Amino acid sequence: MRYRCYLPFLTLLAGTLMLATTGGPPTQRTGVPGEAGGATCAACHTNGPAVNSDTRGRLTIEARDYKPGVKQLIKVILEHPEATKWGFQLTVRSAADMLQQAGDFTVTPTIRVRCAASGANAPCNPGETQFASHVLASTYIGQRNRAEWEVEWTPPANASGSLIIYAAGNAANNSSTNQGDIIYNANRTIGAENCNLAKPAISAVANAATAPAGPLSANTLVAIYGGGFQPAGSRRTVSAADITNNRFPLELSCVAVEIAGRRVPLTYLQDNQINAQVPTVSDRGTVPVVVVANPGTPNERKSDATNITLQATSPAFFRFGGNAIAATSTTREYIANPSTLAGARGARPGETIALYATGLGLLEPVYQAGEIMDSAIRVREAAQIEWAGTVLSAADVSYAGAVPGAISGLQQINVRVPMTATPNAGNIVRVRAGGVLSPEGTMIFVQ
């Protein structure tokens, strides 16, 4: 029901040791099999629990499949409730030969890169194994519970097979010794995105919350229908590794979308459908939509343009199915006829429920398309609710705005159910935003 596409984080636990040394650990301490005898930091850091045995913490690697030669981010997350200093080391290897370096890391103010053969700082010799790690500023002294690092990595331009990311993390006690630190190790295998899609085709562009095509508005969530968006039978949702700077990606699985000449955030792909968000633009009237296959490659192909109409608002309710508006109670129970949605219940007269929509107009202050909301921000224009043809008072609509934790185009309207609502029936409910009324036929079941 929520439009954001969150999959479970890629949590990977295995074994090794590493102390949060301020200058970064020695090289070859990520536990790569066969490298330096599979050495870890255990030789130096003692008197702590066995690697990965403290289940209060964990080390997580977040990384999407790679596009050969195209820089991307690898995120390392280390968690423990008692640590007060943090460190990590990371390397990437070919799955076919774990001693073979795969790609290059970028030095940044928070990331150090060292070369294995010499122990010197990057740049490294071609093919020399590399290790990315923290610097003093990114040991986060005094920080509790969690530390994160983002490593810029460019995969080999000629890579085609699976690659393995190895990482070690130290949840340290900041004792200025190598005693008692808590160590984790993880690895993650990623594959290559084979950007070899044929020219895509668009058949329709519609509000993602309702099927009929019609005018759209800035920041509205949309569904693009057609063909050639992915290999037949495959689908791709956004994972945590695709989120950068708290924003949804502008490119996903060898596909991008341009609306009014701008790349737009994507949330889902399958062979005949793309879920995206209209950019934050002031354009009105006719604008083109183009799907770009294999963006940024010599094989880039663009669909023919399909025109849509932009206006100030384009309100529509998301639905559980049929005409049932996607709605929840204050305790997150689904509100719907339980005979059509298992586990749901009907709305109760007098209670406040949340209805989920898109296209209510821009937020105030304005948030950009693709941003993930960290708080409840109201829409600029007041939203009116018509319940069984009667406009509810402003007091009965306590909130209309963003859903915290979701993409900026997903909106929530908190509505008090009228005491006069028809029981044991679906009540027709519509929303008006900026003078535009949502599509007909949507209902809330009242028990």
The number of distinct structural domains making up the chain is 3
Whether residues 386 and 293 share a domain: the answer is no
Q: For a pLDDT cut of 70, what percent of the chain falls above it?
A: 92
Whether residues 403 and 427 share a domain: the answer is yes
Confidence of residue 211 (pLDDT cuts 50, 70, 90): low
pTM summary value: 0.74
Instruction: Give the count of beta carbons closer than 10 Å to the beta carbon of residue 117.
Output: 11
DSSP-derived letter for residue 124 is: P
d(CA 129, CA 164) in angstroms, rounded, equals 13
Instruction: Give the count of beta carbons closer than 10 Å to the beta carbon of residue 138.
Output: 22
> Is pLDDT above 60 for 419?
yes
> Is pLDDT above 90 for 306?
yes
Confidence of residue 38 (pLDDT cuts 50, 70, 90): low
What's the average model confidence in pLDDT over 175-180? Answer: 86
pLDDT the model gives residue 11: 26
Whether residues 177 and 128 share a domain: the answer is yes
Whether residues 43 and 99 share a domain: the answer is yes
Expressed as residue numbers, the domain containing 371 is 316-446
The residue behind tokens 């083109």 is 288
Q: For a pLDDT cut of 90, what percent of the chain falls above it?
A: 74
Structural domain includes residue 410: yes
Structural domain includes residue 67: yes
Domain boundary among 140, 161, 190: 190
Residue-wise pLDDT for 275-304, tens only, equals 999 999 999 999 999 999 999 888 899 999
Of 189-193, 208-212, 236-240, the least confident: 208-212
CA angle 33, 39, 44 (to 5 degrees): 160
d(CA 268, CA 235) in angstroms, rounded, equals 8
> Is pLDDT above 90 for 270?
yes
User: Closest Cα partner for 25 from 142, 178, 143, 153?
Assistant: 178
d(CA 308, CA 218) in angstroms, rounded, equals 12
